[in-house]
Chain A
């Protein structure tokens, strides 16, 4: 059936804004990455691949930043996914208590990153914070820490905050995925005498793989985007130990006014994310089966 050409008008307003405020700046990031533009003056020079060379070979802070981001990502992806999956399996049935618990676990997701940052800055506070006080109450004084001030552990403290913030959201996705698995498959497994682990490995996991893919991909992107949280809690410190790629781009661009160099890091950032996402989809696809 022929559709009136007026259908193309439906794309106009969205396409217009999307092109100006999204596509154009994204493409210009690529362009500026080959220049030494400071973001303020009208003049800039092309420096070829100079910025990329500097990022990949000469900039130890950038290397550290990528490392921090990977540490943060790995910790969040592994523990958040495990917590979300384990608890999703416990609160799976739609009983009143479970519905309440799911709503509670989900709650932090609706808060702003700045609010969450304040809450956890207080929890981690070396003198006022409840974390150190609870450790003292339990007689575990030796575990007390300056959670955000110690450059060896600050990035992990941030990862725990991120998990508190978003595990509930992932839990809900897993619940939806688990509830979609037909009950009779479990019946069959039971009759065949499968152990709990076997049932999980052969029935639950393969059928859950689509949701797991989504959760892991989403969590990965989220952990690269944890800009707000890091910015509000540590600002990248101490000694760049919590600097992640996103906050580093901000620093290079808006504190050192090195827009050209910041753009080249943005492009590398994009490539890193695309690469990791690709790896994950590949790894998880092989586990996907349909019955």
Chain B
């Protein structure tokens, strides 16, 4: 029993200490960090890193880009994936199965496999250095997992309900918007959170397609701070805190949904 409690505490500290270290370092000066990397800030909290990073970097712009890309990617992926999931569960035949297989095939392919041709395609389509380009690729890449989760859920909805509305003269679109979507809300919200975390944190596609500062998202900007600030960890960690803040705040309030969302993909399998 004692050993169990001890293990739990050790694991908890392994998570907590690095996080506290990030928070503390972000309010220390560089000199102080070099002198005493682990100590508390002696001259009180220094908020200067925060003002400095907003002055030296177009943080607001990066924040805006991340927000736009994430919101549109999540919304459109959910919209298109739920339509496909609805289609598959309505068809409920070999056609549906083939389409389900075609879409979920994408889950098995790591993004790095097709990044080379995708890059030249984006150049050809003039979609590099464009938020729209990022959004379109994001949708295509996360569609498989979203279709997978949503189809699993929609197949459990009672068929009789849909059939009754068909008899009442409702078209597919009406059944989708008035019945399928509202009934799938738990699954939609779980998928939404999963997608939020993925899109907000994505590095690969911005790294491939964005070189212009005006279109950079937070993870890419953060990565490039490393080149600029080198081992100036107070500044790097200030960046980490700003970039993670929306997710952390959302996590504190919507914890249960996060846990459901981030494991939904895995559990439905």
Give me the interface of A with B, judged by CB distance under 8 Å: 1, 3-4, 6-11, 13-15, 17-18, 20-22, 24-26, 28-29, 32, 39, 83, 86-87, 90-91, 101-115, 118-120, 122-123, 125, 128-130, 133, 164, 168-169, 172-173, 176, 211, 214-215, 218, 221, 224-225, 227-228, 231-232, 245-246, 249-250, 253-254, 259, 262-263, 266-267, 269-270, 273-274, 277
Contacts and interface: CB of A to CB of B under 8 A. Distances in A.
A87 B37 contact: no
Given A111-B247, A115-B244, A231-B223, 10 more contacts: A13-B80, A18-B143, A22-B140, A29-B114, A91-B8, A107-B15, A225-B110, A227-B204, A231-B203, A253-B116
B259 interface: yes
B240 A20 contact: no
A176 B266 CA distance: 11
Contact of A87 (B8, B140, B259): B8
Contact of B112 (A91, A169, A266): A266
B219 A266 contact: no
Contacts of B207: 231
Interface in B75-99: 79-81, 83-84, 86-87, 90-91, 99
A5 B171 CA distance: 10
Nearest to A111: B244
A225 B187 CA distance: 26
B114 A118 contact: no
B112 A250 contact: yes
Contacts of A18: 103, 106, 140, 143-144
Nearest to B248: A110
A105 B236 CA distance: 24
Nearest to B250: A110
B114 A22 contact: yes
Contact of B108 (A111, A120, A246, A277): A277
13 contacts: A20-B140, A25-B115, A26-B109, A87-B7, A87-B11, A102-B259, A108-B15, A110-B262, A114-B223, A130-B17, A231-B207, A269-B113, A277-B108
Contacts of A4: 166, 171-172
Nearest to B147: A14
B222 A266 contact: no
Interface in B98-148: 99, 103, 106, 108-121, 136-137, 139-141, 143-144, 147
Contacts of A169: 262-263
B180 to A, nearest CB: 10
B108 A10 contact: no
Contacts of A9: 172
B90 to A, nearest CB: 5
A17 B136 contact: yes
A6 B109 CA distance: 31
A7 B109 contact: no
B14 interface: yes
Contact of A101 (B8, B81, B247): B8
Nearest to B80: A14
B150 to A, nearest CB: 11
Interface in B9-53: 11-12, 14-19, 21-22, 25, 33-34, 37-38
A221 B113 CA distance: 13
B57 interface: no
A112 B25 contact: no
Contacts of B110: 221, 224-225, 246, 269-270, 273
A263 B117 CA distance: 8
Given A14-B80, A87-B8, A228-B204, A107 B251 contact: yes
B40 to A, nearest CB: 14
A103 B15 CA distance: 11
Contacts of B60: none
A25 B117 contact: yes
Given A21-B141, A112-B219, A133-B37, A26 B113 contact: yes
Contacts of A32: 116-117
Contact of A110 (B18, B25, B87, B247): B247
B172 A7 contact: yes
B207 to A, nearest CB: 8
B262 to A, nearest CB: 6
A262 B116 contact: yes
B113 A274 contact: no
Contacts of A107: 15, 19, 251
Given A3-B90, A26-B113, A14 B81 contact: yes
A254 B207 CA distance: 11
Contacts of B2: none
B203 to A, nearest CB: 5
A112 B121 contact: no
Contacts of A112: 200-201, 203, 218-219, 222, 243-244
A110 B172 contact: no
A214 B116 contact: no
A6 B172 contact: yes
B213 interface: no
Interface in B164-192: 166, 171-173, 176
Contact of A1 (B118, B166, B203, B255): B166
